[in-house]
A and B are shown apart, each in its own frame.
Chain A
Amino acid sequence: MAELLQILVSGLSAGAIYALAAVGFTLLWQASQTINFAQGEFVMLPAFFVLAGMTIFGLPLWAAILTAMVLSLLILGAMFKKLIVEPMLPHGTLPLVIATIALGLLMKESVKEFYSAQGQPFPTLFPQHVLDFFGASISVQDICNLIVAFAAIISLQLFLGRTRTGRAMQATAQDPRVAEILGVDVKRMVMYTFLINGALAAIASILISPVYLAKFSNGETLGMIAFIAAIVGGFNQIKGALVGGLLIGVIDNVAAVYISAEYRAAIPLILLIVIIMVRPQGIMGTSEGRTV
């Protein structure tokens, strides 16, 4: 029982961070039909903003994180929309997907070239204590990661559901033409979505890098897991991305302990295949009809 509890907490902690990245997939899809295959690199990059702030500019951790957050909003939010999405979107989804793949490669290779190809230690924000809870060793860091990730997603849900801007963003996601007729500034709402994605990516990066270490190639794994989580949970629902992320985190740990450490990486992919066959819209997703 203690073992299962420990696996669940550890899995939920990792899963909540995957969920942050997965939410980014769903947000961009809803706002602009963008599938961002550079999402993994979006989570990799802010950690290097923090490290550069601390090692090159000598900033304290809090200031480096603040700077990384601002840079993430500018580069991963605003510039990504203005320089990649806006010029490519009129040419269709496929060219945009290819452009995001190219962007991911560029980001990865740039970090390797300008920072380092080696993994870097990353400071943790939380105490390294371990709590004994009914015989299970529960890490304070895991609990804090879980709380911060949940707080970010719940805040986002509240913002989208309870504020005028949030509702305008949802209207834009559902039907931009009708939203525009109703007086919503659609362009601004789409921009907000990209900024939120940049912020979520930065939070995910700061939470996961103390565990993964900051490394240029981290995006490969994170991007794949977040993409699977978004599909499993439902690509058109934020709560779907949350469920998908948590599920993948827990299943990964359970599989490694109770099934096979060698085949743990295959289990989320099997889940993905099953979901696509049984419920293509994802666990929490809704079916979308498209005219072809």
Chain B
Amino acid sequence: MKRTYLAGVSLTALLMAGGAVAETVKIANISELSGPGAAAGTVWAHGVELAVDEINEHGGILGMPVEMKEYDSQTDPQVSRALVQKAIDEGAFALLGTVYSSSTVVNMLVAQMNGIPQFTASEAPSITSKGNPYIFRTNWGAQKGMPKIGSYLKDQLGVSKVAIAWANTEFGKGGHDSFVSIVEDMGLDVVADIPSEQGQADFSADVLKIKNSDAEAVFIYLTQEEAARFLMEATKQGLDIPKIGDSVLTSEKVIDLAGAAANGAKGHVALTIAADEPRVQEFADKFSERFGYSPDYNAMKGYIGAYTIKYGTEMVGEVNSQKLADVVHGLCLDADEYPGVLIDMCWDDTGEVSRESYMVEVVDGREQVSEVLPAN
């Protein structure tokens, strides 16, 4: 009898414990914590981590703590695909990641099949053009930034011949195609078109080809470590033309890796800690204090992604994947009311993002904003 009673108490305790576990909001972050994408993926993951801890300190989502699991995609699309499935199998109701577009185009199909909303850092145009109702960017796609870069090259720099150095990946191809199409429509001549492989270490031939192409400016569309190596090689070979890029080129990581070689690089960026916004500065201070280094746009994207899940879920009023995906389509968040998004932003019905942007230049090892451009 005593044994039966004890068994009953144990079972009740177990069920209660099970009930307590069920009262959490499960999300997952799948990012590039190793492999060639580690520089970007780690920073993104830290941004997510900071946001989740803050959310939990302030009562979680709908009063429930957030339980986040982290997965390392190893910058391998097939691994990322398997991990997205694993995260969903383990109960995640919303996903964050991946950063590299080559991985996201593969793993977002798994999230789509399972009806799970996914907030990605990827910027390849193809991500939001496939009609996937569960994918959402945390920054706009490359195709939205390219017209502004093209106008800057033509109207402000007066360039007629341009070179492009780009990563031969999903991210790079998307940006390359958009850029070439836009600048050619504007009447600019692409005189050197140089692809490079992921993880490429030696850029001497690439820089030499650009140098000998008579290009008046080079558009650099590479991932962080490759962008840093390119800038170092450009300095080594005395490539003395404007070096223009997107968020990557002027990011903290590239500046850290390239050192003085990053000075003078200019970028059209959506998110930068150089922005004159108190919320951005507060975020940068918290991030630096916690992780011991300055955040970049990927950290901001991770932070924004985690907070978007919170705001969207609380608008819906329940932890429901489908309803979260539905509410974010067409959603606009005012940063005064929803400070976790840092800067006002909107999503359209494809998951694409709109927000204002900045032209920045690296001066003495720091990003400086030279112009604020309106959202498009």
> Which A residues are closer than 8 A to B by beta carbons?
3, 6-7, 10-11, 14, 112, 116-121, 128, 130, 137, 139, 141-142, 210-213, 215, 217-218, 221, 252-253, 256-257, 261-262, 264-265
User: CA–CA, A64 to B255, complex, Å?
Assistant: 24
Q: Among residues 196 to 236 in chain B, which have CB atoms less than 8 Å away from a CB atom of chain A? A: 196-197, 199, 201-202, 204-206, 208-209, 211-212, 224-225, 228-229, 232-233, 235-236
B contact residues around A137 at 8 Å (CB): 211, 237-238
> Could you say which of B31-39, B116-124, B131-139, B180-188 contacts chain A?
B31-39
Decide yes or no: A117 and B225 within 8 Å by CB, A3-B212, A128-B235, A211-B202 being known contacts: no
Q: B259: CB under 8 A from chain A?
A: yes
User: CA–CA, A69 to B195, complex, Å?
Assistant: 37
Q: Are B208 and A6 in contact (CB under 8 A)?
A: yes
A–B Cβ pairs within 8 angstroms, 25 of them: A7-B204, A7-B205, A10-B205, A14-B204, A112-B34, A117-B42, A118-B39, A118-B42, A119-B225, A119-B228, A120-B257, A121-B256, A128-B236, A130-B236, A130-B237, A130-B238, A137-B238, A210-B232, A211-B233, A212-B202, A213-B201, A213-B228, A213-B257, A215-B225, A257-B209
Main secondary structure, interface of B, reads helix
User: CA–CA, A6 to B202, complex, Å?
Assistant: 14
Q: Which residue of B lies closest to A11 (CB)?
A: B204
Decide yes or no: A256 and B229 within 8 Å by CB, A137-B238, A139-B237 being known contacts: no
Number of interface residues of B (CB under 8 A): 38
B contact residues around A265 at 8 Å (CB): 197
B contact residues around A210 at 8 Å (CB): 232
User: CA–CA, A264 to B237, complex, Å?
Assistant: 20
Q: Are A141 and B236 in contact (CB under 8 A)?
A: yes
B contact residues around A121 at 8 Å (CB): 228, 256-259
Q: B194: CB under 8 A from chain A?
A: yes
Q: Are B206 and A256 in contact (CB under 8 A)?
A: yes
Q: Are A264 and B208 in contact (CB under 8 A)?
A: no
CB distance from B239 to the nearest CB of A (A): 9
A contact residues around B233 at 8 Å (CB): 211
Q: Which residue of B lies closest to A112 (CB)?
A: B34
B contact residues around A7 at 8 Å (CB): 204-205, 208
Q: Are B238 and A221 in contact (CB under 8 A)?
A: no
Q: Are B202 and A218 in contact (CB under 8 A)?
A: no
A contact residues around B195 at 8 Å (CB): 261-262
Decide yes or no: A252 and B194 within 8 Å by CB, A3-B208, A117-B38 being known contacts: no
Of the residues A118, A128, A257, A264, contact of B38 by C-beta under 8 Å: A118
User: CA–CA, A130 to B239, complex, Å?
Assistant: 10
User: CA–CA, A217 to B260, complex, Å?
Assistant: 25
User: CA–CA, A239 to B197, complex, Å?
Assistant: 31
User: CA–CA, A262 to B168, complex, Å?
Assistant: 8
Q: Are A211 and B34 in contact (CB under 8 A)?
A: no
- 15 A-B pairs besides A14-B204, A130-B237 with CB distance below 8 A are A117-B38, A118-B42, A118-B253, A119-B38, A119-B224, A128-B235, A128-B260, A130-B236, A211-B229, A213-B228, A217-B35, A217-B199, A256-B205, A257-B208, A265-B197
